[in-house]
A and B are shown apart, each in its own frame.
Chain A
Amino acid sequence: MRIRLATVFGALLIGGMAAAAGAQAPSTASTTMTATVTAMAKLTLSAAAQTFPDANPDVVPQVTAVQGPIVITAKARTTGASQVVLTVLADDDLRSGLQVIPASAITWTATGAGLGGGTLSKLAPVTVGTWTGSGAWSGTQTLAFRNSWTYSTGTYTCVLVYTLSGP
């Protein structure tokens, strides 16, 4: 008797079971972020008035204001490295009725980056400070009145206009 024994093992794998089980690529989305930065300037002075008291010209040839130094805070946004300028202009000479003291009798010294000294004028703005580019700066300006025996007695006034500007 012959017994033929045939044994067949078949293994059939169908499908992707051995494959990586479906890790998906990251999902992305994009947006555009924009910022509009407008040019602007902002100037703050610590005092709205400066008063120079009467004094003997021999004893006090330069009279400083009773309010003390003016604290100047200048802030500006400008394009790139443009120059920011602070100027002051007198609207007229100092006047007391018909009596006149030239605006140039007022001078100043200053402290703080970008600020400098000068002499007041009613004819053209005089530079008080210059800076480059955007930023915020502060310092002090101390006004002085040149005293003289030649002045007529009286109370003299004028208006000082400060202008902070960029391009």
Chain B
Amino acid sequence: MTRAPLLILTTALLLQPACAWAQRLTLTVSQSNIAFVADDPDSTPTIASAPIVVTVRVQQSPGPWHLSVQANGDLLSGASSIDATQVTWTASPAPPFQNGTLNKVVGQTMASGTGNVNPAVSGSVVFRLANSWTYSAGFYSQTVVFTLSAP
């Protein structure tokens, strides 16, 4: 009688392409400086900066995304300060961009949406400083951070 060893070999091979759908978030801001020159508050109650362009690209992200802006503090000139909330902005197109008020404590939404943004979308943003006689004369500065995230 023939000996008939029977070998049954079953192999399951699962191949998963490495990180094939990793998110890609790209954020660019057209200018490294946003400048205000505070003229006579009576004639210029609000001072507008030159427009900047903020460009957002979101790839391979089916969920929500969010662009926020936050000041690292108030605008400072030595011991003098101008509250960060005195700065507002207008942004277009809306949506995904939206207007807002700068804050040093919590990031404020400048744009948001869901899903991919590809090709990238660019928004025109104009910051405005509320002018006042109460400001001390000086040169004020502060860092403003833009953050694009997709939780």
Q: Which A residues have a C-beta under 8 Å from some C-beta of B? A: 1-17, 19, 21-24, 26-40, 42, 75-80, 133-136
Q: Which residues of A contact B14 (CB under 8 A)?
A: 11-15, 17
How long is the Cα–Cα vector from A78 to B35 in the complex, in angstroms?
20
Report yes or no: A37 in contact with B18, Cβ–Cβ below 8 A.
Answer: no
B139:A34 contact, CB within 8 angstroms: yes
Determine whether the beta carbon of B23 is less than 8 Å from that of A24: yes
Find B32's partner among A8, A23, A32 (CB 8 Å cutoff): A32
- A-binding residues in B (CB < 8 A): 1, 3-19, 21-29, 31-42, 47, 52, 60, 71, 75, 77-80, 82, 87, 127, 129, 133-151
Judge whether A34 and B34 touch: CB under 8 Å.
yes
Cross-chain contact A15 with B25 (CB below 8 angstroms)? no
Contact B12 A9 (CB under 8 A): yes
Asked if residues B6 and A34 are in contact (CB atoms below 8 Å), the reply is: no
A33-B127, A35-B38 known; A26 and B8 CB under 8 Å? no
**Which A residues are in CB contact (< 8 Å) with B1?**
1
Interface of A is mostly: strand
Q: A6-B7, A35-B37, A39-B137 are in contact. List 6 more A-B contacts (CB 8 A).
A: A4-B6, A21-B19, A75-B133, A77-B137, A134-B135, A134-B136
Hey, which chain A residues are within 8 Å of B141, CB to CB? 32-35
Cα(A154)–Cα(B143), bound, Å: 67
Q: How far is the CA of A77 from the CA of B140 in the complex (A)?
A: 14
User: Do A29 and B135 contact each other (CB < 8 Å), given the known contacts A23-B150, A34-B141?
Assistant: no
A3 to B2, CA, bound (A): 10
From A14, A33, A38, contact of B15 by CB (8 A)? A14
Cα of A99 to Cα of B52 in the assembled complex, Å: 68
Our pick among B23, B28, B127, B136 for the contact of A37 (Cβ within 8 Å) is B136
22 contacts between A and B (CB under 8 A): A4-B6, A19-B19, A21-B21, A22-B21, A22-B23, A23-B22, A23-B150, A27-B25, A27-B27, A28-B148, A30-B144, A30-B145, A31-B29, A31-B144, A32-B33, A35-B140, A35-B141, A37-B137, A38-B39, A79-B136, A134-B133, A136-B134
If A10-B11, A24-B24, A29-B27 touch, does A77 touch B136 (CB 8 Å cutoff)? yes
In the complex, residue of chain A having the shortest beta-carbon distance to the beta carbon of B71: A33
Cross-chain contact A32 with B147 (CB below 8 angstroms): no
Q: Please, how many angstroms separate the alpha-carbon atoms of A34 and B139 in the complex? A: 7
Looking at A10, A29, A80, A133, the one whose CB has the most chain B CB atoms below 10 A away is A29
CA distance A55 to B12 in the complex (A): 118
Known: A8-B8, A33-B87, A133-B136. A40 touches B40 (CB 8 A): yes
Given the complex of chains A and B, what is the CA–CA distance between A167 and B9 in angstroms? Answer: 94
Cross-chain contact A2 with B3 (CB below 8 angstroms):
yes
Residues of A near B77 (CB, < 8 A) are 37
**Shortest CB–CB separation between residue B88 and chain A, in angstroms?**
12
